[in-house]
Amino acid sequence: MKGTDRLKSPLQFSEDLYQRMLGINKGIGKLALYEFRYALDGIIPPAGWDSLELDEPDDIERMIRQREFYTSIQLKTREKDRIVLDASIARLTRMLLVGLWQEKYTQDWVNRLFYFDVRGFYFLPRTVYFTEKSLARFGGKPWQRFEPRQEKFEQVQDISYQEFQAANEEIDQALIALVQKLTRLRGTPLLITLAGPTAAGKTEITERLMEAFEKEGKSTTSIEMDNFLLDREFREGKSIDRSTIHYNLFIQCLRDILQGKQITTPCYDSSDTTSSHDPQGNLRPGRHTIEVPPGDVIFLEGNFPFQSPEVRSLIQFLVVYLTDDPIRLKRKWKRDVDYRKNYEISHFRNRFFMTQFLRAEDCFRAMIEQADIVADTTHAAIWITPELERSLSGS
């Protein structure tokens, strides 16, 4: 059968493509051919596979590096009363599938720029979090390396937290010991920010750090960054910065708690996306605030760019807890879809695809460039600044 005829034949095309996709994602090997065909049926172009016109590789690379590509994505496009995959995301996945089959796109090129999510059955661009500036900040190499145990997740479709924690046990213990030692050297009270992308595991590692400090007799407390957000209507379409939070209240709270004072923070209601305070910082009638006691070690929870020197100067340790996008997506399938049931499936796929590039560009790359410590759980490495390394050597 000729190439064009094989493309027109769904059965033959799927069989050929199945073999090629084994080199893209090992998890494909967990699917029987008929299961692969079930998933492929959901992405068939309306006019058939042979109707696709494929972009050149250079054009695709340019497209996925442009912010406009992601901001144009429609999260809840509906067809026949159900949410569907955004048209630009669907087109990209279809092009990559046919391009792999035709060998217009090599496996090496696809794997360098994209990863394939078996459960969502679509391609997503890989996010690069370390820039030349951040690599230079950490002296160009990690401080410690460990066995990359997350490699065992390559063939699975979703990941529970117990599995995730077990894979990260060695690097987590090293991070906890490092932060404890640095805290003893710096003294208290001390403010630590532990930030990271969604489903990286930052909430869980923060809880374990707090437990570790309390076992050695230090009191801990935490401030939730989200409680300082303005109403969504004032933030819509904007990055999280000083213009989208109660900035003056935030700064005053940080200063007060570092002086051993109990603080009162706003309270953000995620159900109706409004703050307890108006944009001028005044408490609204009928709304309540949150009392936060002082502590020896204060954790600031949540992501914030920290480009403001005023904020950064108050933080003793900025820790970024990083996990690669493919692993986080598998965690979110289990956590947000299976357990929390937060999303309709295609809304979930559209949202994750859109937000990873934007949040890396708006927040995480800049944050890593200013971080004191980065724990990269996927590549099993801890990065620290030369300044911190010198302080450890002199202890």
The ranges assigned to domains in the chain are: 3-125, 132-219+295-393
Question: Is residue 296 scored above 60 in pLDDT?
Answer: yes
Residue 305 pLDDT: 62
The residue among 150, 163, 85, 157 whose CA lies nearest residue 329 is 157
Question: Is residue 306 scored above 80 in pLDDT?
Answer: no
Question: Is residue 62 scored above 90 in pLDDT?
Answer: yes
C-beta of residue 99 within 8 angstroms of C-beta of residue 54 = yes
The residue among 168, 180, 166 whose CA lies nearest residue 209 is 180
pLDDT tens figures, 368-382: 999 999 999 999 999
Can you state the angle between helices 325-332 and 345-359, rounded to 10 degrees?
A: 150
Mean pLDDT score of the chain: 93
CA–CA distance from 382 to each of 77, 177, 206, 221, 395 (Å)?
41, 12, 16, 25, 19
- The H or E element spanning position 330 is helix 325-332
Phi, psi (5° rounding) for residue 290? -125, 130
Amino acid identity at 123: F
Place of tokens 């009363």: 81
Taking the C-alpha atoms of residue 270 and residue 26, their distance in angstroms, rounded to an integer, is 38
Residue 327 pLDDT: 97
Residues contacting residue 172 through CB under 8 Å, at least 6 positions apart: 165, 205, 208, 375, 377
Residue 2 pLDDT: 47
Please report which confidence band the pLDDT of residue 4 belongs to, taking 50, 70 and 90 as the band edges.
low
Please report which confidence band the pLDDT of residue 393 belongs to, taking 50, 70 and 90 as the band edges.
confident
Query: Exposure pattern of 17-50 as b/e (b: 16+ CB <10 Å)?
Result: bbebbeebbebbeebeeeebbebbeeeeeeeebe
Place of tokens 């590509």: 69
Question: Is residue 299 scored above 90 in pLDDT?
Answer: yes
Lowest-pLDDT range of 132-146, 200-214, 230-244, 320-334: 230-244
C-beta of residue 89 within 8 angstroms of C-beta of residue 73 = yes
The residue among 87, 79, 103, 5 whose CA lies nearest residue 48 is 5
Report the percent of the chain where pLDDT is more than 90: 84
Q: Is domain 132-219+295-393 in CATH 2.60.40, yes or no? A: no
Query: Taking the model in full, what pTM does it have?
Result: 0.92
Residue range 35-45: average pLDDT? 94
C-beta of residue 283 within 8 angstroms of C-beta of residue 258 = no
- Strands 78-79, 290-292: pairing kind: unpaired
